[in-house]
Structure 1
Amino acid sequence: MTQSIVVQVGQCGNQIGCRFWDLALREHAAVNKQGVYDEPLSSFFRNVDSRYDDPANIPVGSGKGKVKSLKARAVLVDMEEGVVSEMMKGPLREVFDFRQHITDVSGSGNNWAVGHKMYGPQYREQLSDVIRRAAEFCDCLQCFFVIHSMGGGMLFAC
């Protein structure tokens, strides 16, 4: 059982990422009508017991356990908080762990140099910590998916 972490960067990355999570949930629901937390679902989602402040992971086990509360294996990064805020108000808000977000208020103004030179050094350690935390929840980390645009101001993570 391998897991993947999706790192969504900038406005474009977060908008496409939001569509990805919606589609992943709908496709799995179409195949898995019993609501079971199985290996395919565990590739991109954690099944957690959300009764605690720091939700406890529920392992796949036999693959017959029910879904309790899904959390996406995702890191959301944007220096302009608008898109991430909209996602957190939308229908998928419960899927994202608020501790896996890195946002700022001002933004890069679609200027790659600002994102690379200003926000990169400023958020490098926080980004590393958030990605490390996401990786620690994986039993067997297979890969990272990085979703971002090819232009604009948020290419600092590369």
Structure 2
Amino acid sequence: MTQSVVVQVGQCGNQVGCRFWDLALREHAHVNKKGLYDEALSSFFRNVDSRKCDGEAHFVGGRIQHLKARAVLVDMEEGVVNEILHGPLREMFDSTQLLTDVSGSGNNWAVGHMTYGSAYREQIVDKLRKAAEHCDCLQCFFLIHSMGGGKAQPSLTNSSHGIIDD
């Protein structure tokens, strides 16, 4: 059995990641009617006992206790991450999985890469290492992010070209 770690970066990455976790839970609940922690769930979730301070993981085949996403959430503007932490998925994440700041890069990839990347590199690597250590057999990292941002989608019209770029 292999596990994957999802890395959500920036506003777009965290918004899409939130939808991913919601869909993963709903689809698994539809298939797994008995509430067992199976191999499919273990790919993206840890099953922990929240009554114990060390968050001891339970093995495949047992009942679902408390699911924690195998994820690291990074955003230099804390708005979207705060929405996730106050939404229906709030119990799936804890502070060890989050890295936020308050100012943001203003949809400027270069600022995020050069300024925040160098300032937070060690903390990001540390959080990724800890997430990987919770895996028995790490298969991969999924990176969810956006390289663009800031511009609205083009409008569709009946013009000769079909699309007008706003």
Number of aligned residues: 150
Displacement of 1:152 in angstroms is 4.7
Based on CA coordinates, which of the two structures has the bigger radius of gyration?
Answer: 2
Aligned to 2:87: 90
Displacement of 1:52 in angstroms is 2.6
State which of 111, 118, 121 in structure 2 corresponds to 1:124: 121
The CA RMSD measured in Å over matched residues stands at 1.1
1:25-36 correspondence runs (5 A): 25-36=25-36
- Displaced runs of 4+ in structure 1, greater than 2 A? none
Equivalent pairs: percent with the same residue? Answer: 75
Specify every segment of 5 or more residues in structure 2 that has no aligned partner in the other structure, as ranges: 151-166
Specify every segment of 5 or more residues in structure 1 that has no aligned partner in the other structure, as ranges: 154-158
Give the letter aligned to residue 2 of structure 2.
T
Displacement of 1:106 in angstroms is 0.4
* Contact 1:35–1:66 (Cα < 8 Å) also in 2: yes
Aligned to 2:76: 79
d(CA) in 2 for partners of 1:126, 1:46: 22
d(CA) in 1 for partners of 2:92, 2:35: 15
* Contact 1:6–1:73 (Cα < 8 Å) also in 2: yes
Aligned to 1:156: none
Secondary structure in 2 matching 1:5: strand
- TM-score under structure 2 length normalisation: 0.88
Secondary structure in 1 matching 2:129: helix
- TM-score under structure 1 length normalisation: 0.92
1:5-154 correspondence runs (5 A): 5-60=5-60, 63=61, 65-152=62-149
